[in-house]
Amino acid sequence: MTHEGERLLQEMLTLAHDANRDLLDRLDLDDLQALVRGTTALRRAAEQLDQ
C-alpha cells in the first residue's frame, strides 16, 4: 500500500471510530447494557458456528 493509501485508510478508520463514539454517546446506560448483552450473545453464537 502506498503512503497515500495508508493515510486515507487511517483517515477512514478515524472517521468511523468518531461516528461510532458519537452514536454510543447518545445511548443511556440501560441501552448500552442491552447492546453489550446482544453483542455478547452474537459473539457466542458465532463461536458455535466455528465448532
pLDDT at residue 1, rounded to an integer: 82
Q: Check residue 50 and report its DSSP letter.
A: T
- Considering Cα of 17, then 19, then 20, then 22, what sign does the dihedral take? positive
What pTM did the predictor assign?
A: 0.67
Cα Rg of the chain (Å, integer): 16
In degrees, rounded to 5, the angle at the alpha carbon of residue 22 between the alpha carbons of residues 25 and 9 is 140
With a cut of 50, list the residues of the chain below it in pLDDT: none
* 3-state SS, residue 20: helix
pLDDT at residue 24, rounded to an integer: 96
